[in-house]
A and B are shown apart, each in its own frame.
Chain A
Amino acid sequence: MRIDSLQQLSTWLDDAGIGLLELRGPGVLLRLGRDAADAAAVGERGAAVPHQERGAQSRGVAVNAPSAGVFLHSHPMQSSPLAPVGTQVRAGAPIGLLQIGALLLPVCAPRAAVVTGLRVPHGTVVGYGTPLVDLDPD
């Protein structure tokens, strides 16, 4: 990871009020944190899901957080969730939002699918790679 990316990430975490970020990659584990005490508590929710883990159905796809942030089921201006369980969604459609400070990033369906599960409650702070939504692709 490059130094300028680290600085960028630190800025983002600060702005979002996130205390800990955990990133996993092949042979790499990176933890960026402000307080060491946070590490244990976040370990469970923030860990990336290994690719070989799947939901009960072998066809099911988990959409993971593309970034650290606060996962939202609905847009802050609206009350109805973007993609409740059972919804048919198009490829590329936003099925949730990641709030990072003032920004809202889309969590998009990789392909047309039916939403079969929402893994974390609305308003949860998540780390990069956290599984957020289960989809059953068409």
Chain B
Amino acid sequence: MTTTETTETTRSSPKQADDRFINRHASLMPTFAALGVLVVLLVAAQLYFGDFVSPGNMSALLLDNAYLMVIAVGMTFVILTAGIDLSVGSVMAFTGILLASLLGRGMPAAVAVPVILLAGAVIGLLIGILVQYFDVQPFIASLAGLFLARGLAFVVSLKSIRVDDPSVLWLQSTRFQVGDWYITPTGIIALLAVGIGAFVLQYTRFGRTVYAIGGNEQSARLMGLKVARTKVFVYLVSGSLAGLAGLILTAYSGAGYPRNGIGTELDAIAAVVIGGTLLSGGRGYVLGSMIGVLVYGTIKTVISFLGAEQAWMQIIVGGLLLLFILIQRFIVSRSERRE
């Protein structure tokens, strides 16, 4: 317990102003840290390679990681409620191959795309129902989702299916150029997902309920917030966005492949944690997750520039994840001790 001051002493103004700032924006600190890491990485890469931070490279950064960015948005929602969704990689693979398969059978893209988004949503809904109404731990519930989606992906097809539908391929092949900078529709989709996600979290009651659940679920319930509904819904959101990522990835690679996305959920979790969202819930921002994905993508690009084996990617991301967790742990134990 804090030892309270016994008298109302006036404190000097600058310290008070600092304290006020910290008291208001404590949750933003980790995200600022992530931004710092990104800047440091880019600067270091620039110094080392000489022309790393070029319009071409930066545009490619978004392009190559658009699918992960979309998934990270959904993962942010889930982790904010102190949950986790291990199914997203498999859902992405499932919806991706499902899309390829449906298109291959002649279904128009305008129908196929909503169908796969719905499929993702349904799996997410199942997970959410298990978590909320059957008190299953999110980890186990999403594990069931992982099994289900992965198996279904192979049920759709044991091998990859190429996609020839022009409207889907358009998403990836078109580039909107401004000078040497370019962006594809998939990139736009990813940025939209980030923007809409951030807006929802900040300005809607649903979004604030997400934060409330992560802060103290019991209190949120007592405050009259619709906790049950929200908890189910975040998994639905995560599943739908995983479906969207399936679309993006299929457009990107021109094919659906049932073995896609193995381990993608881990990459997404890493990106979200690096971006400043606490795994204990209640603190974090979608913009931070976007930064986390950019950090991830930058590392991947650096590794490929160096000609090193991609295996290093996993080791480094694992190491970064550990570093950020240690930092989070250190900060938490410091603030606990202050009480």
Do A and B come together as binding partners? no
